[in-house]
Amino acid sequence: MTTPALLPLSGRRIPPLNLGPPSFPHHRATLRLSEKFILLLILSAFITLCFGAFFFLPDSSKHKRFDLGLEDVLIPHVDAGKGAKNPGVFLIHGPDEHRHREEEERLRNKIRADHEKALEEAKEKLRKSREEIRAEIQTEKNKVVQEMKIKQNKPLPPVPIPNLVGISGGDPEDSDIREKREKIKEMMKHAWDNYRTYGWGHNELRPIARKGHSPNIFGSSQMGATIVDALDTLYIMGLHAEFLDGQRWIEDNLDFSVNSEVSVFEVNIRFIGGLLAAYYLSGEEIFKIKAVQLAEKLLPAFNTPTGIPWAMVNLKSGVGRNWGWASAGSSILAEFGTLHMEFMHLSYLTGDLIYYKKVMHIRKLLQKMDRPNGLYPNYLNPRTGRWGQYHTSVGGLGDSFYEYLLKAWLMSDKTDHEARKMYDDAIEAIEKHLIKKSRGGLVFIGEWKNGHLEKKMGHLACFAGGMFALGADGSRTDKAGHYLELGAEIARTCHESYDRTALKLGPESFKFDGAVEAVAVRQAEKYYILRPEVIETYWYLWRFTHDPRYRQWGWEAALAIEKYCRVSGGFSGVKDVYSSTPTHDDVQQSFFLAETLKYLYLLFSGDDLLPLEHWVFNTEAHPLPVLHLANTTLSAEHGHLAEAAGHLMFVGSVPLLPIQTVQRDGSGCSGDPALQQRQAVEASCGINPGCIRGTEEEWELTVAG
């Protein structure tokens, strides 16, 4: 998970500024605010009256001269000779002179007619009553709303569903491990049931106050962030009744046409990622439709001079802006660099390459830029395309950018070599400049600030242990063993940050200065808000090594959460992990259900549940399938073919156009004359066994090359 770490309760929490009362006295020497407003109102009315009188007076010779002046600007004139009043105009002579004069006269007459028509319409409007004008305006509004509804309900083109492996199961053989997994499931049910009771529809829950809660990253609207974020965890755990409750709420209540300013990054990883994962796991079309509706609302954020998106966008108006605290109005690397996985799947599911183009444009721009010491600074100005403050971190502000480079390669079935190269280059620079070993032998990842290394590591950076292990296979010069060991060292350091606290829960960040190692020093860094990154790393290392220490460490964390974070109304973060009597922050984060509990459940499950050969987890732990289809629809060298064919989809070298329906259960294919040929294509391309329905006239198979 990634967000700015310098803020209280993570960068996802940007508290409103309390400016307090003004520090200067008011003097009666100036006009009161109400008096200024009245004067401004009078002045505005006077200006409006003047302009209205100018435009709506009956025709006059002066007005006609204005018309002709306008025509002189719009029409390329033919000069009658040397005595023309404007010798600088373009002259037309020869056989085409007569044709051009006729064209000029035709344009002149058209302008006059259009102008007269506009004046008549304006006069007609003025003759209507206020009620009639309001009725016309309302009619136009209703028409626009209806058109938007038609657009939203437009069915998406069906596409082949990738071969989905391991969406259920994972039952451990060992009874002790099975019992621990059931405990994690019970914790999930406790968190969900209390949210269902006290915070339903709100973005998050205050478990002690027992009411809904909404951080400013979701604006002022109730978008049910916890519902969307938790859906795939519920499904994986077999809590299907709870899953159906969430699905019904989404069908009936989830609306993105709200006047609300949201974080592009957060709604992408939580909402779009969560909806796409729920769609792939369950096959329910509503989740795909909602994901696409939301994605369309985010696209205006990319309307910047560089194409680097704003941090926030208003879902209704499309107006975007950046966080006020970000370096000189910059966008943040971990935010605009954490869109690739979800946007690639959006293009795959819709056939619309706009999502692919947006994220690839970001990648191309970053490739062209100079990087100090090979490092990516955390801030980039979307207006100028220049780096902001030279601050590099693998924790907050930077983390998931590197994660998504690696996962773009994995999601493409390891064919996106450009992403892999960018990842390898970045990791080499990080290892050279940021990764150090403390005097006590702990390997940590520091932060580069204005030319020097700050020996501090954030909880958010602890995800990197899992990332190094995940990226070990395929690394350069056969360094797989090295990166697997590096991941293990990071896991050990992060475990120490937990083990050296009174609660056995890790602080938000910890220092490595002198005698202080893996310990938070400042009070503002001692809180734990149910974060998942350490447990995420334990799970990845368990999958790759099956070293029992990772399950043991994960169980220690689970017991600590159960003991110190569980309250009667759910789970809450704590403000000081070094205090044996901690104070709760009274927030049950949505990512606790999406990530922390999911990774714990997977840690005590078999490897056949969501195997990493077939699934890639986004930075909010939402599993998206690897596109084993060679992914040529979205590749740079074949992208133009997909554009030319609309929602033409290339499966390997076989284009399918148009694709009607893929049945998940294989039903509905009997009697189809081309069934065997179609199933052969499915089998060769890794499409979920089933069929592509439709007659020969409704689809086409062509072997390219």
Among residues 242, 352, 399, 418, the one annotated as catalytic is 399
Angle at 189 between CA 188 and CA 194, to 5 degrees: 105
Dist CA 487 CA 472 (whole Å): 9
Token pair 């369309």: residue: 296
What is each CA distance from 75 to 70, 90, 103, in whole angstroms?
Answer: 9, 11, 9
Of the candidates 525, 573, 532, the residue with the CA atom closest to the CA atom of residue 1: 532
Phi, psi angles (nearest 5°) of residue 430: -65, -45
Q: Is 513 a known active-site residue?
A: no
Among residues 266, 447, 586, 620, the one annotated as catalytic is 266
What is each CA distance from 541 to 464, 534, 623, in whole angstroms?
Answer: 11, 11, 18
DSSP strand pairing (700-701 vs 456-458): unpaired
Cα-to-chain-centroid distance, residue 512: 34
Q: Which two tokens stand for residue 85?
A: 């009043």
Q: Is 266 a known active-site residue?
A: yes
Q: Are 274 and 226 in contact (CB under 8 A)?
A: no
The DSSP result for 686-704, as a single string, is: TBPSS-EES-GGG-EE---
CB atoms within 10 A of CB 166: 19
Among residues 242, 418, 424, 508, the one annotated as catalytic is 508
Question: What are the strands, taking DSSP E only, across 364-432?
Answer: 379-380, 391-392
Between helix 354-368 and helix 417-433 the angle, nearest 10°, is 40
Helices (H), 57-129: 61-74, 97-127
Of the candidates 261, 296, 264, 268, the residue with the CA atom closest to the CA atom of residue 148: 296
Q: Which residues face 452 on adjacent strands? A: 449
Dist CA 344 CA 350 (whole Å): 10
Q: Which residues face 566 on adjacent strands? A: 571
Q: Which two tokens stand for residue 448?
A: 């580069």
Question: What are the strands, taking DSSP E only, across 163-307?
Answer: 204-206, 211-213, 261-263
Contacts of 571 (CB under 8 A, 6+ apart): 187, 190, 191, 207, 530, 561, 565, 588, 592
Helices (H), 237-298: 240-253, 264-267, 273-282, 285-298
Cα-to-chain-centroid distance, residue 410: 19
Among residues 71, 416, 525, 533, the one annotated as catalytic is 533
Q: Is 585 a known active-site residue?
A: no
Q: Which residues face 624 on adjacent strands? A: 616
Dist CA 125 CA 111 (whole Å): 21
Measured torsion, CA atoms of residues 585, 591, 593, 599, in degrees rounded to the nearest 10? -120
Dist CA 514 CA 681 (whole Å): 63
Cis peptide preceding 658, ω within 30 of 0: yes
Of the candidates 473, 482, 387, the residue with the CA atom closest to the CA atom of residue 428: 482
Burial of 229 (0-12, 13-18, 19+ CB in 10 A): buried
Label residues 74-112 b or e (16+ Cβ within 10 Å = b): ebebbbeeeeeeeeeeeebeeeeeeeeeeebeeebeebe
392 is annotated as contributing to ligand binding: no
Residue type, 679: Q
Q: Is 533 a known active-site residue?
A: yes
| Annotated binding-site members | 619
Active site residues: 266, 399, 508, 533
| Annotated binding-site members for Ca(2+) | 619
